[in-house]
Amino acid sequence: MKTDMWKAYARGMAAAMNSGGVVIPAGLLRAYRGIGLTDTEMLLIIQLFMYRQLEGVEFPTPEQLADRLGLTSKAVGQLLGRLMKEGLLAIDEQMDSISGVQSERYNWNGLIIRSAEWLADEARKSAMGPEREQRNSEPKAADLFTVFEQEFGRPLSPMECETISAWLDQDRYQEELIRFALKESVFAGKLHFRYIDRILIEWSRNRVTNVDEARAYTNKFRGGRGSS
């Protein structure tokens, strides 16, 4: 009897899932990779949309989001921190005019604007044509997380995203130095995060703080051969 009850409950849930949904701007789904978001970050944004639209929750906690995403609350905090640092996400404070209770809500206007700008730029490139675009465009460095995903040939795991964030925010490594360490790991045929971390630690111990110093330090152990 209990089995039949849970089967009926599952059928009811399936019907509810087919009849409702979350509204995600199509332009955002088209642009998120182009503006440097990882798949995990986009899924986090979708969860924020769902909390607001379906559950009326304006400011879900990292613990709530972590439970939905299968991550640790610390990893979610790192992801939220990066989105805010990039100006894609913000936190607004608001006060209820009747009760006087102050609350917070996530504001993703920055994300929408950045996506719209990317889509407009893509439309401009299409209108200009490939040859004219090639003559007029300046090369733009890809987002650090995107560079890692391109080299690894797959989306980064939450733990890997957390590692990169820690290199930037806790260890204070320059972004270009991290890119160069990634390049060194590719050169050595040891493309994994532990090896890259060892490179960065070795450079830090030897007071290497920028790419020029890292290149000189590396060449010293290669008999003067270039690393590029």
Confidence of residue 224 (pLDDT cuts 50, 70, 90): very low
The half-sphere exposure of 33 on its side-chain side, counting CA atoms within 13 A, is 9
- Angle, CA of 12, 66 and 170, to the nearest 5°: 165
Cα pseudo-dihedral 143, 31, 154, 87, rounded to 10: 40
Confidence (pLDDT) at 69? 94
Task: Specify the DSSP element, H or E, that contains 107.
Answer: strand 102-107
Two tokens, residue 36: 């440097």
Kindly state the average pLDDT of the residues 168-192: 92
Question: Distance (Å, rounded) from C-alpha 36 to C-alpha 119?
Answer: 13
Kindly state the average pLDDT of the residues 138-164: 81
Kindly state the average pLDDT of the residues 40-55: 94
Confidence of residue 9 (pLDDT cuts 50, 70, 90): low
Q: Give the rounded percent of residues in the chain with a pLDDT score beyond 90.
A: 51
Which of helix, strand or coil describes residue 91? strand
Q: Which residues of 64-138 form beta strands (DSSP E)?
A: 90-95, 102-107
> Residue 202 CB: number of other CB atoms within 10 A?
14
Question: Distance (Å, rounded) from C-alpha 87 to C-alpha 13?
Answer: 37
Confidence (pLDDT) at 14? 57
* Amino acid (1-letter code) at residue 159: M
Higher pLDDT, 214 or 99: 214
What residues contact residue 73 under an 8 Å CB cut-off, 6+ apart?
Answer: 61, 62, 63, 65, 66
Residue 82 pLDDT greater than 50, yes or no: yes
> Residue 151 CB: number of other CB atoms within 10 A?
14
Confidence (pLDDT) at 68? 93
Domains 2-111 and 138-220 agree in fold: yes
Residue 88 pLDDT greater than 70, yes or no: yes
| C-alpha gyration radius of the chain | 23
Confidence (pLDDT) at 196? 95
Confidence of residue 100 (pLDDT cuts 50, 70, 90): confident
Give the architecture (CATH level 2) of 138-220.
Orthogonal Bundle (1.10)
Q: Give the start-to-end residue ranges of the domains of the chain.
A: 2-111, 138-220
Q: What's the Cα-to-Cα distance from 189 to each of 74, 151, 218, rounded to whole Å? A: 31, 12, 15
Confidence (pLDDT) at 201? 94
CATH 1.20.1240.10 fits 2-111, yes or no: no
Query: In this predicted structure, which of 43-47, 81-85, 141-145, 180-184 has the lowest mean pLDDT?
Result: 141-145
Kindly state the average pLDDT of the residues 64-93: 93
> Residue 42 CB: number of other CB atoms within 10 A?
16
Confidence (pLDDT) at 10? 63
CA-based diameter of the chain, in Å? 77
pTM over 0.85: no
Confidence (pLDDT) at 50? 93
DSSP state of 154: S
What residues contact residue 123 under an 8 Å CB cut-off, 6+ apart?
Answer: none
Return mean pLDDT, the chain: 84
Ranked by mean pLDDT, the top range of 7-21, 52-66, 129-143 is 52-66
Residue 226 pLDDT greater than 80, yes or no: no
Confidence (pLDDT) at 228? 40
